[in-house]
Amino acid sequence: MTDPYRDSAARHDELNAGLPTPTRLFARDFAERHGVESICDFGCGTGVLMAELAADGRTVFGCDLSEAMCSVAQERLRPLGDITVANENMVTYRPPVQVDLATCLFDSINYLLDTRDWFALFGNVAKSLRPSGHFILDFVTEYDLRECWPAHRSVIEREDWVLVRLSAFDVTRSVGVEHMIWHVFQEGQWKTLIEEHKHAALAVQDVVRGLADVGLRTVEVVDADSNGVVEPDATTRIRIVARKENHA
C-alpha cells in the first residue's frame, strides 16, 4: 500500500497548524488531571502529542504506519531522550509496558477502512492499558464524510508549494476519499505529487459497543468541536473517553 503521507509528512504540521489542537489540549489536560505517567499514542503522526507529554516528564510510546511521519516524529522527539516511534500498524503494535493512557487522535482511526480493524484496535488498546487506564479517541463521522466531504475543495498557496484538495464520498463503499495534489518547488522546478487519503467511519453506538466488548467502558461521548451533545445530522467529529474495567 502506498503511504498517503509519503510526500506531505514534512509539511503536515505547517498545513494543520491549529487544526487538531482542541483534542490534543484535551488529552494533555486529561493527563494532568488524572496523574497519567505513561501514554501510548496510536497513529501518532508527527509526534506532537508525544513530545508535549514527554516534555512534561511522562513516559511515552507511539506508533505510526507511515515511515515518513515516523521520521518527522523521531526528529521532534530526539532532544527529549531515548524515545522510539514504532513504524507499525496500530492494530497490532503493543507498547513494551501497559500504560495509563492510550490515545488515537485526529482521524487516525478513520484510516481503518474495515470495521473489523476498528474492533481489533480496541482489543489491542485494551491489552496495552493497565487496569483503570483510559483511552481517548476522536474520529470524523459518517455524516461528515457523506454530507461535507463532497463540498470540500480548497487551494492553499505558500512560497514553495501549492496544495489543491479535492474530496468526495464513494457511496458504493461508504468511504470518503480526498486527493491532495501537491505542487512543490524543488531543485529549480515544480513537481507534482498526488496523495490519496481514504476515510471510513462507524456509527457512535457501534464504537461504544465495540469498546465495551473488550472491557473499555465509555465514560464520555461528545461533539469534539462544540464539547456538546452529538447531533447525528450536524456533528462532524466525535471524541470518546473510555476506561478499562478492572476485570478486563
Ligand X SMILES: C[S@@+](CC[C@H](N)C(=O)[O-])C[C@H]1O[C@@H](n2cnc3c(N)ncnc32)[C@H](O)[C@@H]1O
- Looking at residue 229, its amino acid is V
Would you count residue 62 as binding ligand X (CB under 6 A)?
Answer: no
CB of residue 110 to ligand X, shortest distance in Å: 8
Q: What span, in angstroms and rounded, lies between the C-alpha atoms of 213 and 145? A: 26
Would you count residue 89 as binding ligand X (CB under 6 A)?
Answer: yes
Would you count residue 85 as binding ligand X (CB under 6 A)?
Answer: no
Cell representation of residue 173: 463503499
Would you count residue 124 as binding ligand X (CB under 6 A)?
Answer: no
Q: What span, in angstroms and rounded, lies between the C-alpha atoms of 195 and 5? A: 7
CB of residue 210 to ligand X, shortest distance in Å: 16
Q: Which of 124, 75, 79 is nearest to 98 (CA)?
A: 124
Stretch of 57-65, 180-188, 219-227, 237-245 lying at the interface with ligand X (CB under 6 A) = 57-65
Stretch of 85-93, 201-209, 217-225, 234-242 lying at the interface with ligand X (CB under 6 A) = 85-93
Q: What span, in angstroms and rounded, lies between the C-alpha atoms of 90 and 179? A: 24
Residue burial 116-155, b: 16+ Cβ < 10 Å; e: rest: ebbbbbbbbbbebbeeebbbbbbbbbbbbbeeebeeeeee
**For ligand X, which residue of 100, 107, 142, 195 counts as binding (CB under 6 A)?**
107
Would you count residue 118 as binding ligand X (CB under 6 A)?
Answer: no
Stretch of 100-108, 187-195, 219-227, 230-238 lying at the interface with ligand X (CB under 6 A) = 100-108
Stretch of 88-96, 152-160, 166-174, 204-212 lying at the interface with ligand X (CB under 6 A) = 88-96
Q: What span, in angstroms and rounded, lies between the C-alpha atoms of 196 and 179? A: 5
CB of residue 4 to ligand X, shortest distance in Å: 7
Nearer of residues 237 and 244 to ligand X, judged by Cβ: 237
Would you count residue 63 as binding ligand X (CB under 6 A)?
Answer: yes
**For ligand X, which residue of 8, 27, 45, 139 counts as binding (CB under 6 A)?**
45
Contact between residue 64 and residue 45 where contact means Cβ atoms under 8 Å apart: yes
Q: Which class for 188: exposed (0-12), middle (13-18), buried (19 or more C-beta within 10 A)?
A: exposed
Gap between the terminal Cα atoms of the chain: 34
Would you count residue 90 as binding ligand X (CB under 6 A)?
Answer: yes
Contact positions vs ligand X (CB under 6 A): 5, 20, 43-45, 48, 63-66, 69, 89-91, 105-108, 111-112
